[in-house]
Chains A and B, each alone.
Chain A
Amino acid sequence: MSLFSIEVQKTFRRWRTYIGFAVILAAVVLLEVIIKLNETQMARSFAGGLNSDFLVSGNVLNAWVITAFIMNSLYIHVPFLIALVAGDMVSSEATSGTLRFMLIRPPSRSRIISAKFLAMLFYTALLILFFGVLCIGIGLLFFGGGDLIKFQPGLPHIVVLPAHIAASRTGLAFIAAILSMSVVGSLAFLFSTLVDNSIGPIIGSIAVVIVSFILGNLPFEFTESMRPYLFTTYMGIWQLLLDNPIDWAEVGKYALVLLGYDAAFFAVAYYVFVRKDIKS
C-alpha cells in the first residue's frame, strides 16, 4: 500500500472530510432552488441592467450564468472547507499521537509529508470538481443552457460567451479554481505542521485569506502597491477563463504565481516537518 493511498484512506474515512461535500451540496441545491423559485423576478432584474443598451432575448438566467455567480464563493466560503481538512492533515495526527507511530516506521519524513500534501491536493481537487459538477448539473436541470453573460470590472464591461463554448470555459474555470484553492490548502497545510492542534491552522489560514482579500481590495495607494504580492490577487484566475477572448499571458502569469505560492508553502512545511522534534 503506497503512502499516498494510506493518506487518502485516512482522509476519506473521517467524517470531517465530508463536511465540505455536504455543505457544498446543501448550499448549491438551496441556492439554485431559491433562484428557481424566483426565476422570473431574478431574470428580469438580471436583464434589466442590459435592456437599456442591448436587445436581450433567450434564456438569460441559465446554468452557466448561475454557475459563474455561485463560483464567487471560491473567495471565502470554499477556502474554509478546504482549510477544514488541509489544516488538519498533520496537526490532528500530532494531537492524537498517531504521528509518533508513523514516524518510527521506515518511510522517511520527507516521503510522509509529501504523501500528506498530495492527499490534501487530491481532496481539494475532488471537492472543487464536486462543486463544479453539482453547480452545472443542477443548473442544467433547473435552468437549461444558454449564453454566459458576465459582468466584469474594466472594459469590456459585459462579456458574452456563446452557449457552445460556455460549457468548456466553465469546465476550464473549475480546473483553474482547483489551482487557486490549492494555495489555500497549502497554506493551511503549512500551518498544520507548525502546531499540534487543528483549530489554529484552520482559523489561521482563513484569517490570512480574509485579511489578504480585504487588503487587496482597499482603494488606497499603499494597499494597491501590496496587491501584486498577495496570493488572493491571483485566486480569481478562474474568472480570466470566462473572459472573451482569454488573455492567456495573464492566465499563465496567475498560474505561475499560484504554483509558486504552492511550492513555497510546501517547502516551508517540508523544512519544518523534517526537522521537527516530536514531543507530543
Chain B
Amino acid sequence: MADSILQTEGLSKKFGTRWAVKDLNLDVRAGEVFGFLGPNGAGKSTTIRMILTLLAPTAGIVRIFGKEVRGNRASILSRVCGIVEKPDFYLFLSAYKNLELLGSLSRKITRDEIQESLEIVGLKSRADDKVKTFSHGMKQRLGIAQAILTKPDLVILDEPTSGLDPQGMKEVRELVLKLSKEHGTTVFLSSHLLTEVEAVAKRMAVLNHGELIAQGDVAELLNSGSAYYSIQAAPQEKAIDVLSRVPWVEVVATGNGIDVRLDSGRAAELNRLLVTSGVDVSAFAAKRTLEDYFLKITEGASEV
C-alpha cells in the first residue's frame, strides 16, 4: 500500500520452544494513530522490540517507510523514535542533558529544540533538575519529549500511560493526538488499556498469545458482529416479554434497565419493535465499548 509507513510480514519470534509472536502482519498508515492492543504477555513489547531492532526476528520482515529495516537500519531509525516498555533515563543527569545526549545519537540537536520538546510535555521549568528527582509521570512525559525531540515521522509508544494517574493518562492522550494532528506524525501506540486506544486511535490491531486476531478501522471493528445495548423501557415486564420472543435478541441482564445482545445494525429495528408493541422506550444506548469487543474476540480466539 502506497501510504503504508510500517509493515510487518510474517513477523515471528520464538524464545526456546515458545512463540512469543507468530506470523504477524501489520499495516500502519501515514499520519494515523494506530492502536496495538493486547493483554499483558500478548507479545506487544516483543513486536515493538523487533520493529526497533532490539530483538532479531526468528522469521519475517519489518518494513518502515517502504524499506526493509534490516539493511537500512540507520536511515530508517533516524526518522523513528519511541519508548519501549518504560522511559528510562540517566538518573544522574538533568532532563536537559538526557535529551541532549539521547537526541545527539540521531542528529545534531539545538538548545531550542530541547526547550521546545520540554515545553510541549510541560517540563521546561524542570529542565535542569536531575531525572532522579522526577515522578513516574514526569519520566513518562520526558520519554515523550525524547520521542518527539528529533521530529520523527514515526513515533512508537509502548504502554505510554502505564502507571500514570487519570490526569497523567489524559495528558498523554492529548499529546498523542497533538502529535498526529498538529505535526502529522504517525503514532504506533501499544496498550492493554482499551479505552485509551478507543480515545486516540483510528485503526488498530489486536494481538493475543502472539497472534494477530483482528486489524482494521476501530469503528468498523466495533460495529461488526453482535453488540451490547442497555434499554430503559416501561413497563419493563412487557418489554422483557417482547424481547424474549425475538430470536435474534438475547436478554443478558435485567435490573434498573435491560441489557441485551443483538446483531449490530438491528438496534433501530428492535427499538421500532418495542415501540410498536406498546412499550415506552426512554433510553436505548450502546454498551458496545472497545473493551467488550476486545473480550469477545480474545475469548473467541482462545476457544479456537
Contacts and interface: CB of A to CB of B under 8 A. Distances in A.
Chains A and B come from one and the same complex: yes
Interface of A: 1, 3, 6, 9-10, 13-15, 96-98, 100-108, 275, 277-279
B283 interface: no
B101 interface: yes
A100 B54 contact: yes
A1 B49 CA distance: 26
B106 interface: yes
Contact of B91 (A3, A96, A106, A277): A96
CB-CB nearest 4 A-B residue pairs: A97-B88, A105-B105, A278-B54, A1-B104
A105 B49 contact: no
Contact of A14 (B49, B86, B92, B104): B92
A91 B106 CA distance: 22
Interface residues of B, number: 32
Interface stretch (B21-29, B70-78, B189-197, B258-266): B70-78
A2 B54 CA distance: 22
B6 to A, nearest CB: 14
11 contacts: A1-B108, A10-B93, A98-B89, A101-B89, A104-B52, A104-B77, A104-B81, A106-B77, A106-B106, A107-B105, A279-B49
Contacts of B81: 104
A13 B92 contact: yes
B12 interface: no
A97 B49 CA distance: 13
Given A106-B74, A107-B105, A100 B53 contact: no
Given A1-B104, A105-B77, A278 B49 contact: yes
B53 A10 contact: no
A103 B52 CA distance: 8
B230 to A, nearest CB: 44
Given A104-B82, A106-B75, 8 more contacts: A1-B100, A10-B93, A14-B92, A103-B52, A103-B54, A104-B84, A106-B77, A108-B73
B74 to A, nearest CB: 4
Contacts, number: 72
Contact residues of A: prevailing secondary structure: loop
Query: Chain B's interface: helix, strand, loop or mixed, by majority?
Result: loop
Nearest to B77: A106
Which of B85, B86, B90, B146 has most chain A Cβ within 10 Å? B90
Given A100-B84, A100-B85, A107 B74 contact: yes
Nearest to B55: A277
Interface of B: 49, 52-56, 73-75, 77-78, 80-82, 84-86, 88-93, 97, 100-102, 104-106, 108, 146
A183 to B, nearest CB: 28
B75 to A, nearest CB: 8
A12 to B, nearest CB: 11
Contact of B88 (A13, A100, A278): A100
Contacts of B106: 105-106
Nearest to A101: B102
A10 B73 contact: no
A3 B75 CA distance: 17
Contacts of A102: 102, 105
B90 A96 contact: yes
A13 B73 contact: no
Contacts of B89: 98, 101
Contacts of A279: 49, 55
B273 to A, nearest CB: 56
Contact of A103 (B53, B74, B88): B53
B101 A104 contact: no
Contacts of A103: 52-54
A101 to B, nearest CB: 6
Nearest to A102: B105
Contacts of B90: 10, 13, 96, 98
Contact of A104 (B54, B91, B93, B100): B54
A143 to B, nearest CB: 39
Interface-centre pick from A10, A98, A105 (highest chain B CB count, 10 A): A105
B279 to A, nearest CB: 58
Instruction: Choose among B53, B73, B86, B101 the residue with the greatest number of A CB atoms under 10 Å from its CB.
Output: B101
